Each structure stands twice: as C-alpha cells, then as structure tokens.
Structure 1
Amino acid sequence: MHDLDQLREWDAGAPPLDEETRTRVRARLLRAMREPTPVAVRRRRPVLRIALTGLVAAAVAGTVLVAVHDDGPPTRTATPPASSAPALENVSARTVLTKAAAYQRAHERQVAPRDDQFIYSKEIIKETEKGTGTTKTYVDEDWRSVDGSQRSWVMEIGKGWWSPPLKGNERVWPTQDWTLLSKLPTDPDKLLKAMRDPFDRTPDYSKPIRADEWEMINFSLQGLLYRVPVMPPGLRAAAYEALGKIPGVKATHGVKDARGRVGIGITYSGRVTLGTMIFDPETYAFLGFRDTRTSGDGKDMKTYIQLSYLDSWAIVDKAKVRPSAEG
C-alpha cells in the first residue's frame, strides 16, 4: 500500500456497520487527529493521500487502521491549528468560495472518462527551504486509473512509482472512479452531509450535522478538491460552496502563488489543515496551493514552503503516454 493510498477491505465480507459503531469509529479517528503529537500525513503536493478507514469492517473491533508505506517520499506534518477566525473572515471565505463556484460553472469542461482510461495530470511544484532560502522546482506527472483496475503511475516531489491496482472490495478516497463521483450530490448542503462518510452509499440527508463531525467533513471534502482534477459537471463548484459553509474556514488576502500572483488564500483552521487554496482576487479562478512540509528529525529537521499549481490534465488511454498536446 502506497502513502495511505488504498482503503482495504471496504466490505470485507462483513455485515454493514450499525450507526453506533460508525459513530464510535468516527470519534476514534477524530481523537487521533486531536492528539498533541502532530498528525503525519503522507501526501503528494498539493493533495491529500490518505485512506479514510473509519468505516472498514476491521474497525468493528474498535481499531482504526491506517497503513503507511515506509519507503515513500518525505512525510508532511499537519500544521498546528490557528486561532478561531473572526466572523468577518468566515463571511469573506464563504464569499470567495461562492464566487469561485460561479467561475467554475462558467468555465467547466464537459468530460466523461471511461473506466479503462487514465487521468493524466501535470503539476508544477516550487519548494523553498526556510533555513537557506534554496528553491527547487519539480514537475510531477501522474497517470491514475479511473476505476482503479489498472496500476497507476504517481509522483511526489520528482519521485515516481507504480501504484498497484485495487483488489477486490478495496476503495480509495479521494477516488477517481467516475461512477462513484457521479453519485455524489451537487447540492452543497447535501454534499456536506455525504462527506461525513464518502463511502456511504445511502447517506441520510435528513440527519443534521453534529459539531464533532465537521473535522471529518473538511477532511473528506478537501481531499476531494486536492486530489481529483476531473469531476462530473457541478461537483467541483458544489465542493467550493460546501467548503465555504464549514466552521473554521477563513480567508487571507495577499497570498502569493507559484507564479508570483497575489491572491486570496482559503485555509481551514481546525486541527488538521491541508494547506491553503489560492484564488484570483478579481475573477476568483483557482490559482494553486501553498503548503509547508518538514523532513528529518531534531536538529536535522528542515522546513519547506511549497507553492504548486496544476499545469494541465487530460484523459488518456494508457499510463505513461502523454496527451498529444504534451508531445
């Protein structure tokens, strides 16, 4: 398993979990996220690579299972929570994300990949070490199987490897599976409730969101936005609007992106934050991400500021074959 990239044995031949068990497992995951020790999240810039294991059958025994591949790229440590944002910042964040959703709907490309195809993405990453000011630029190219039935090529900070196909009832979140993505609601309020458990096939939209569920909802929703470059019509716009409704999401003006453009940063101020999304202050087009990562321990620890953006994406028939526009 690579980088928390696969959710194993989703059904595992076991009966569906009852509501009490689901609640207990969610609580365990959230407690783990709130431990004083920083939460280590292995992820490719700028996206979350993690298996949401709160609902696997193994959790019936009361254990949340998260597996990490030890020989992967450097570990990213979650940023400590910021202080609670003033109400004005929350309103500003919602306004930015609402306008970003409108821009997305106006410029959305209509696509529908087949299960046997791949999602190609090319990402540019500009990384600066805080101590020395040394800056390096990486080009990461991925070819991800749409339905997970074929092995995928993934890269992180210039290093690449083959990710094996999913087995049996394995699931991964965020998913590239068009069939599963197409079943997610494009109503932002319903999407928020669906993100309580993104693998729940029959979410209860009538059930109010509890205060202790917002952390998980943000975790699932930002994973979707960070990880999936191609979505069914209306889903990304709905995700922007849903994110703006989450308590603790704030806006910061004057954030520079990888190309030096000054934009508005949107950040979640909870216990686990996945970096900052940057939007154009006039058009509200999405520009890219800003994040930090660390490597090493103790006196050898180094901190890096990362700026990244999606250069291009396409639907292709084979892995490791660039779309024609890429040559």
Structure 2
Amino acid sequence: MTDRELDLALDELSTWEGDAAPLDPAARHRVRTRLLSAMEVRRPLWQRPGLRIAVTGLATAAVAATVLVAVRDDGGSAGPATAQRTEQPAVRPVSARTVLAGAAVYEREHSQAPATPPRDDQFIYTKEIIKETNQKTGETKTHVDEDWRSVDGSQRSWVMEIGKGWWSEPLKKNESSWPPQDWTVLEKLPTDPEKLILSLLHKNGGSAKNDSLAHITAQDWSLIHFSLAGLLKLVPVMPEGLRPAAYEALAKVPGVKTVPDQKDAKGRTGVAITYKDPTLPKGVTSFGGYFIFDPKTYEFLGFKDDRTSGDGAKKKTYTQLSYLDSWAITDKVKQRP
C-alpha cells in the first residue's frame, strides 16, 4: 500500500456514513491487518513499539526476519500480467513482528476462554493430526495422537507421539513442569507481552537483574523462546488474552524470523515463524520448529518440524506437518468428549 493509497483510504473512512451497513468480522480483520502491515512499512525502525531497546543488536535480526510478499493494489494476490495491466506487482516486506501482531489480533477476535475453567482434578484432552514424510524416500504416513494431560499434574497422564502412547507419572512433591495445564498457574501469567517475558525470565532463573528487556542475554532469550514455544504448542486452552500476549512476546525475541511459502498439513500455503538459536550447536534446531500462519488473516494453521531416527547409515530424517484437530476438558483419562 503506497502513501497515496493509504491517504485515500483514510479519506474514505472519514466520510463513512453513520447509517451505512457495517463491515462483517472477516472484512474488518482484513482491513485492520492491511493497515497494520502498511504502518509497519511506513514507520522508521526506531519508532516501532518494542524496538527502542537494544536497537543495534536487533537491527540484523529485523533484516533477517523479513520476507517479500507480492500484493495487488486491491489487496488480492498478484496474478499474471494482462494486456490492460503489465506493470510488476507491488512488493512490501512482512516481518515476523507483523505476522505475530496479526496473529494476536486474530486470536483476540476469534478465540474464547472456556465458560468453566478446568478443575485441578480434570484432564485436558487433545487430538493432533501429524503427517510425517521420509525426506529420502518421500513416503508419507499419517498419525493421530490423543493426549489426556492431568490439569494439576497430580494424576497419571496419557501421552502419545507419532502414534505410540505411554503413561506419564504424576508430579512428585515440589516438582513442576512446563508448560503448565493448571488454570490457576496460567491465570497468574501476565497478558502484557513485556511483563510475560520478564515473568518467564525470572521463572527460569535468568541472569537479568532488573525489570528491563535491555540486558537479557542470548542464553536467557533461548530459555524465553523455549518457554513461549512450549506454551503456544502444548497448551490448547488458556485464560483470555494470554495466547495473544504470547504471540506478541515471541515477536520480541531476537532471532525470530519469517519463512515464506510453507505448506501446512492440509496443503495450504502460509508464512512460517521460526527461531535461529545462537546458543545451540550447528545443525541443532530449536524447540518449536515452524509456526505456520495464513498469509492474509494470520490465522494459525499448524506446525512444521523435523525428526530423526537411527544413526550413521541407518539415520532417517522426517518432515512433520501437524495441527490440533480438537481439544476438550474431561473428567477421566482416556475419556473421549
């Protein structure tokens, strides 16, 4: 969107008739995300929210966390040239910050916390679909994983991975696990992204001695990313506002970047968010893999991960595409909703 087009759009909004038919929710979301993306491009780096701290250290990450998306002036995807229109489509950068901000907006508009929060003695049931492809042979298998996780960790949980399940024993006294399923613990997490980061930093025993993001070390950011990725990936139901805050907090992690043209498990093309952890050895990927989002609405579509098995000549590498099919709150383990 050019400066001229944005000015015209604002002029049109200023003359909107009060009795005109309102936009439907989908249209409102498209307008909001397009304006958000336009503002991301128009504003200098040092004026963007959350980028005033550690600008020098983040500048390289900001450049690396950018993909180019072709768009038509009318907001649709760029198509082939015609006799009436032969110029190249406009190209605008879409940063990880823009994608995750759009994802937070989408979550606030579409997700709802359960009317009745889960009790400590209940279980969180999830059904996940995983399509796994052998990178060498191209063979693909589909797995259905069903988990029942104890809300407060006091009971045995049933956990599955690529079709195989096992019992996870209850937490022992003074033990805890991350991410929590316990609603009382989740409610205590801040819904302000910066405060959420600091909360996770202090829980992990981070080295920062003050309440600022400015002096967080690379090792601390690695732990913060691990905590945020786990929260977003393994907790299907959260108190209102926590998931959007986690998306916004993830956008502040240096090294988070976008990867365009990523297919999800249903064959849809999206833009992915991933993290290059500078503290890990070469060739080792960070937890969480790729979070794939719709490139227009920023709705979350699913995950992409790599998995290896075997060693040496018998080593196999798989690409996993997965998504959450459904979730529910149950009274007993292995009780289906």
Q: Normalising by the residue count of structure 2, what TM-score does the alignment of the two structures yield?
A: 0.68
1:269 aligns with 2:272: no
- Following TM superposition, by how much is the alpha carbon of 1:85 offset from its aligned partner in structure 2, in angstroms? 6.5
State the SS of the aligned residue for 1:322.
Answer: coil
- Following TM superposition, by how much is the alpha carbon of 1:86 offset from its aligned partner in structure 2, in angstroms? 2.2
Aligned to 1:280: 294
AA partner of residue 253 (structure 2):
I
Return the structure number with greater relative CO, CA threshold 8 A, min gap 6. Answer: 1
Aligned to 1:177: 182
Moved over 2 A (4+): 83-88, 197-200, 203-209
Instruction: Find the aligned partners of 1:320 and 1:199 in 2 and give their Cα distance.
Output: 32
Instruction: Find the aligned partners of 2:65 and 2:335 in 1 and give their Cα distance.
Output: 47
More helix by share: 2
- Following TM superposition, by how much is the alpha carbon of 1:194 offset from its aligned partner in structure 2, in angstroms? 1.3
How many pairs were matched up?
A: 239
Aligned to 2:63: 86
Alignment of 1:1-327 (within 5 A): 86-87=63-64, 89=66, 92-111=95-114, 112-198=117-203, 206-208=211-213, 209-212=215-218, 213-270=220-277, 271=280, 272-274=285-287, 275-323=289-337
CA contact (8 A) 2:61 2:256 kept: no
- Following TM superposition, by how much is the alpha carbon of 1:211 offset from its aligned partner in structure 2, in angstroms? 2.7
Instruction: Find the aligned partners of 1:302 and 1:84 in 2 and give their Cα distance.
Output: 32
Of the two, which has the highest radius of gyration? 2
AA partner of residue 100 (structure 1):
A
Q: Normalising by the residue count of structure 1, what TM-score does the alignment of the two structures yield?
A: 0.70
State the SS of the aligned residue for 1:196.
Answer: helix
> Is there any run of 5+ residues in structure 1 with no aligned partner, and where?
1-82
Instruction: Find the aligned partners of 1:88 and 1:182 in 2 and give their Cα distance.
Output: 31
AA partner of residue 273 (structure 1):
S
- Following TM superposition, by how much is the alpha carbon of 1:89 offset from its aligned partner in structure 2, in angstroms? 1.4
Instruction: Find the aligned partners of 1:233 and 1:223 in 2 and give their Cα distance.
Output: 18
More deviation, 219-228/306-315: 219-228
Instruction: Find the aligned partners of 1:84 and 1:231 in 2 and give their Cα distance.
Output: 30
Aligned to 1:20: none
Instruction: Find the aligned partners of 1:222 and 1:197 in 2 and give their Cα distance.
Output: 17
State the SS of the aligned residue for 1:195.
Answer: helix
CA contact (8 A) 2:65 2:256 kept: no
AA partner of residue 144 (structure 1):
R
What CA RMSD, in Å, does the superposition of the two structures yield over aligned residues?
A: 1.9
> Is there any run of 5+ residues in structure 2 with no aligned partner, and where?
1-59, 68-93
- Following TM superposition, by how much is the alpha carbon of 1:205 offset from its aligned partner in structure 2, in angstroms? 6.8
